[in-house]
Structure 1
Amino acid sequence: MVSPEDVFQEFADSEGAQKHYREHNAKRDEVAEEELQPLINEFQNDDVDVVEFKSRIDGLNKRNQLWGFDGFIGQMHFNKLLNAAPDESKFGDRLRKAIQTPGSIAEAGEKIDSFAEYTQRLKDNDIDSDPFPKSTIFLLSYFWHIQEPTEWPIFYPTSEQYLGDEGLLDTDAPYGTRYANFVETLDELQAEAETQLESTVEYRDIANAVYWHEEWDESATKGEETSGGTEARDTFVDVDKPYLPPVVADLDEVAAGTEGAVNRYAPVDTDLAVVFEQKCGTLFEMLGFDTELLGQGSGRNPDGIAVAARNDYAVIYDAKKRQDGYRIGRDDRTIREYIEAHTRRLRDQGKQHIYFAIVSSSFRDTEESTLRDLRTNTDIDNIVLLKAKVLQELLRMRLEEPYLNLDDMEWVFGNRPGEIQSEELENIVPEWRQDDSGFSVS
């Protein structure tokens, strides 16, 4: 292992890491001050309920992946807690108290132990959601850090593992004690680093240095430099074509009606919208669903129904070929008809959860109120928007990792309404495979 002193020095000497984290930290400060802190205040003041708070926190962290909250131990854990809570209002009150910043390290430990015990009770009483008590440390420390960044460090798994390996942290201690010791250890490292580097060091600088040492990939910054910024770099959504069967490898091109797709299917004299429907059905079958194709020629119907035969859910899906992206607009009436026409039959077949998915090249001007209305006023459990590229990526993961099953994939359709982003697909990796999958948070 490399000593903390050497880790700090390596981090300080790396121009790539310094440039990346200067920009990263500046963005963190901006988002925390202008968006996250006001939202937390609204929640603390009871101006928004816990359901809206969860949704807006999710959206902010998906758009600004700066703290690692959008993964398993952050947002997904939050989702599990809310799903397991028998009373949303009482859970919201409990969370409001928990995320209030502590007055001392001792109080921080007590808050973590208390909320972890509460999480364990939710876990024991709800076999479906399965929240993980240890994630309490990350969850609460994230909210404390956003509010008082110089007082409370985020408990990152990478930092915990490194400090444990160095003998600087007892990773088997009770959760509250572990976080209290974590803060004390970082205080000592902070003082040592400031002396060594002759500059001010924050908690996040220590976390950044450890993450850079343990997980850093220099190609990340090189990719940003050559692509013109982080927004242009989206490696997760880029489909690795060799892993996709040829029949669905061009699903994204067909969805967008590209010139290449038009020319490719012109000889078969089949409308490209029909080709897209057929390919979507084939892809759902490859994922493991029993797929009932409807669509063209079957009257007023969605394009298909994907049934998880050995599970308790089904997905009604509609494929929308669009060059400029799909907008629901007035189609909500049609979607409502599709739902009403098929949910009763699916319920009779024993499907406890029924989801609706729209697949297209991209989406624009989506009104969340429309999705909420459909979810609230129809017999559907959730409605999601899936880019064709995201569906391809889901299949690639399924073919590369045969342990993934339809139980795991239900997260994509049932977690939350709205557009599912490619980076969210990491959430379907089972907890027991997190270490093997290369998943990390920082």
Structure 2
Amino acid sequence: MIPIDKKLQIQTIWDNYIEANKTVLDTKGKELVQIDDSRRIAIIELQKFIDSFQKDNINIYEFKTNIDSFNKRNNLWGFTATKGQMFFNQLVKISESNIVFLTNLLKSCIEQPENLDQALAKIAKLEKFCVEIYSKAKDKRKVPNPGSVSYFLSYFWQVKNADKWPILYTSLINAFIELDIWQENGTQAKAYEYFFNLNEEIKKILSDYTGTSKSNWEAEHAFWNFKGNPNKAIQDLPKKESKTAVIEIEEEKSISVTASFELSDYLIPKVSKLIELGAETEKLSSLKGSAYEKLVAEIFKQLDFEVEILGQGSGRNPDAILRHREENTAFIVDAKAYSNGYSLGVDDRAIKEYINHYCPKLQKDGYKKIGFIIVSNSFKSNFDSFINEITWNTEIKRFILLSSEALLYLLAYKTKDRIQPATIIETFVSLGNPIEAKDIIQKFDDV
């Protein structure tokens, strides 16, 4: 199936992975030390959830919640996003009137197949169910996308038998397309059949090349490493320029991450105009900035923070200080009403001044954990170096870039589900930059 020139490129991909010291990063840039060992430990717990579901010891709702909670703490397969947990959430939500049928369907489909033919039959069964829903849906963003079926099922099969079943990741398909060894397939079943056989051939190429048998995970990590440098053609990629492998978050290209409710249903009109105000181009910048700052402060008040408003007219100060005494946590807040997206520019000096001035005061008042939040509609530049400098050289524990939309969704979920301040603070700390609406939705929707 794979021609000689492509085999040589696959061997180069492996060499580059080895030269990267087999380092694997999660989506937040944190190194996953010995990811395969971590997966083996995680599989023990995941298998318990699956077995409990199969034996009717827990229902489908408990099963979904258990899988979601576990993967949020142990995101080793990228299941927390679109093709995994979001697909599962939508599958259950759309089937609530016929939950017994869905329960039996899922029990049958996630059970490990005996062979590839049986696997393809299971994929076809769930795909058919999803296609019937998807084809009739007016808003296809809110129903399970059939294009997620192979990833979803192969995840559960791999939990049962990692040596046998590879997971069909979008990033792997993209890598195969770039190598020109992928062909389009009309159904999920045909796609998985092609992928399974291609993966077996790749493992054989690598095994013959290295003289040792290669696993699904080893092949997977090597191609993640390759896709870490997508702007380079493989034939032009010097080995020493290879990037560390990044564990992928699955994203469905044809749909966006969407909440299960209308945002406006859980916001008062006063704060719902935050995004619109941030995008305003006709108002004087000072008036626009002041109004935007006040709305941001109001939203943090509704999130149950004690808010000290500073902002324009108070001298060289940040816009607000947030405090939460019970958590011994405070945040310095700067709100940026930039219609075209905020970039750091000359503000780095001002930010450092805010930190140097307010951190000692907050520490003296007993706040042990202090963060810095910039709120804007969007962010244009890469802040990584600056953030690293701040968190390394100052008392700031967490530097957060928060989009206006994400802030509104956080307030909506707080109103809807009575989320506690401790959870809101944990959300700021745990999510990567920038925090966008999709991150908040994925964390809180239908859990």
Query: Normalising by the residue count of structure 1, what TM-score does the alignment of the two structures yield?
Result: 0.56
Does the 8 Å CA contact 1:12/1:18 hold for their aligned counterparts?
no
d(CA) in 1 for partners of 2:443, 2:13: 42
Measured against aligned partners, the alpha-carbon deviations of 1:199-243 in whole angstroms (never above 9, x if no partner) come to: 12011111110001212795899xxxxxxxxxxxxxxxxxxxxx9
1:37 aligns with 2:50: no
d(CA) in 1 for partners of 2:58, 2:359: 46
Counterpart code for 1:14: A
The SS at the match of 2:421 is: strand
1:358 aligns with 2:420: yes
After the TM superposition, which residues 401-416 of structure 1 pair with which residues of structure 2 at under 5 Å, given as runs?
A: 411=441, 415-416=445-446
After the TM superposition, which residues 246-257 of structure 1 pair with which residues of structure 2 at under 5 Å, given as runs?
A: 246-248=318-320, 250=322, 256-257=328-329
d(CA) in 2 for partners of 1:250, 1:134: 43
Q: Percent identity at matched positions?
A: 18
1:9 aligns with 2:24: no
| Among 77, 100, 119, the residue aligned to 2:130 | 119
Does the 8 Å CA contact 2:228/2:245 hold for their aligned counterparts?
no
Query: CA 1:42–1:248 in structure 2 vs 1: closer, same or farther (change >3 Å)?
Result: farther
d(CA) in 2 for partners of 1:195, 1:6: 14
1:192 paired residue number? 205
d(CA) in 1 for partners of 2:439, 2:174: 29
1:63 paired residue number? 73
After the TM superposition, which residues 88-107 of structure 1 pair with which residues of structure 2 at under 5 Å, given as runs?
A: 88-107=99-118
1:80 paired residue number? 90
Query: CA 1:307–1:178 in structure 2 vs 1: closer, same or farther (change >3 Å)?
Result: closer
Does the 8 Å CA contact 2:225/2:245 hold for their aligned counterparts?
no
Count residues in correspondence.
296
After the TM superposition, which residues 400-439 of structure 1 pair with which residues of structure 2 at under 5 Å, given as runs?
A: 411=441, 415-417=445-447
Counterpart code for 1:130: V
Measured against aligned partners, the alpha-carbon deviations of 1:363-406 in whole angstroms (never above 9, x if no partner) come to: xxxxxxxxxxxxxxxxxxxxxx32276299799645xxxxx6xx
Q: Which structure 1 residue ranges, 4+ long, deviate > 6 Å from structure 2? A: 18-22, 391-395
d(CA) in 2 for partners of 1:266, 1:156: 50
Counterpart code for 1:359: P
Query: CA 1:252–1:11 in structure 2 vs 1: closer, same or farther (change >3 Å)?
Result: farther
Counterpart code for 2:34: E
1:263 aligns with 2:361: yes
After the TM superposition, which residues 12-411 of structure 1 pair with which residues of structure 2 at under 5 Å, given as runs?
A: 12-17=18-23, 23-32=34-43, 34-85=44-95, 86-124=97-135, 127=139, 129-215=142-228, 246-248=318-320, 250=322, 256-257=328-329, 263=361, 287=404, 317=415, 354-360=416-422, 385-387=423-425, 390=428, 397=435, 411=441
Does the 8 Å CA contact 1:16/1:218 hold for their aligned counterparts?
no
Counterpart code for 1:29: R
Query: CA 1:393–1:51 in structure 2 vs 1: closer, same or farther (change >3 Å)?
Result: closer
Query: CA 1:412–1:386 in structure 2 vs 1: closer, same or farther (change >3 Å)?
Result: farther
Counterpart code for 1:9: D
Does the 8 Å CA contact 1:159/1:211 hold for their aligned counterparts?
yes
Query: CA 1:57–1:18 in structure 2 vs 1: closer, same or farther (change >3 Å)?
Result: closer
Does the 8 Å CA contact 2:87/2:148 hold for their aligned counterparts?
yes
d(CA) in 2 for partners of 1:388, 1:29: 27
Counterpart code for 1:4: I
- Structure of greater relative contact order (alpha carbons < 8 Å, 6+ residues apart): 2
Measured against aligned partners, the alpha-carbon deviations of 1:291-325 in whole angstroms (never above 9, x if no partner) come to: 9xxxxxxxxxxxxxx899xxxx95665xxxxxxxx
In structure 1, list runs of 5 or more residues that go unmatched. 222-242, 273-279, 281-285, 292-305, 318-353, 361-384, 399-403, 418-442
Using the TM superposition, give the Cα deviation of residue 188 of structure 1 relative to its aligned residue in structure 2, in angstroms.
0.9
Using the TM superposition, give the Cα deviation of residue 410 of structure 1 relative to its aligned residue in structure 2, in angstroms.
7.8
Using the TM superposition, give the Cα deviation of residue 35 of structure 1 relative to its aligned residue in structure 2, in angstroms.
0.4
Measured against aligned partners, the alpha-carbon deviations of 1:305-355 in whole angstroms (never above 9, x if no partner) come to: x899xxxx95665xxxxxxxxxxxxxxxxxxxxxxxxxxxxxxxxxxxx44
Does the 8 Å CA contact 1:101/1:147 hold for their aligned counterparts?
yes
Does the 8 Å CA contact 1:253/1:261 hold for their aligned counterparts?
no
The SS at the match of 2:144 is: coil
Query: CA 1:148–1:261 in structure 2 vs 1: closer, same or farther (change >3 Å)?
Result: same
Using the TM superposition, give the Cα deviation of residue 81 of structure 1 relative to its aligned residue in structure 2, in angstroms.
0.9
d(CA) in 2 for partners of 1:220, 1:8: 11
Using the TM superposition, give the Cα deviation of residue 194 of structure 1 relative to its aligned residue in structure 2, in angstroms.
0.6
d(CA) in 1 for partners of 2:445, 2:40: 29
d(CA) in 2 for partners of 1:220, 1:253: 40
Using the TM superposition, give the Cα deviation of residue 109 of structure 1 relative to its aligned residue in structure 2, in angstroms.
1.8
d(CA) in 1 for partners of 2:107, 2:98: 14
In structure 2, list runs of 5 or more residues that go unmatched. 1-5, 26-30, 230-241, 247-292, 297-310, 312-317, 332-357, 368-374, 376-402
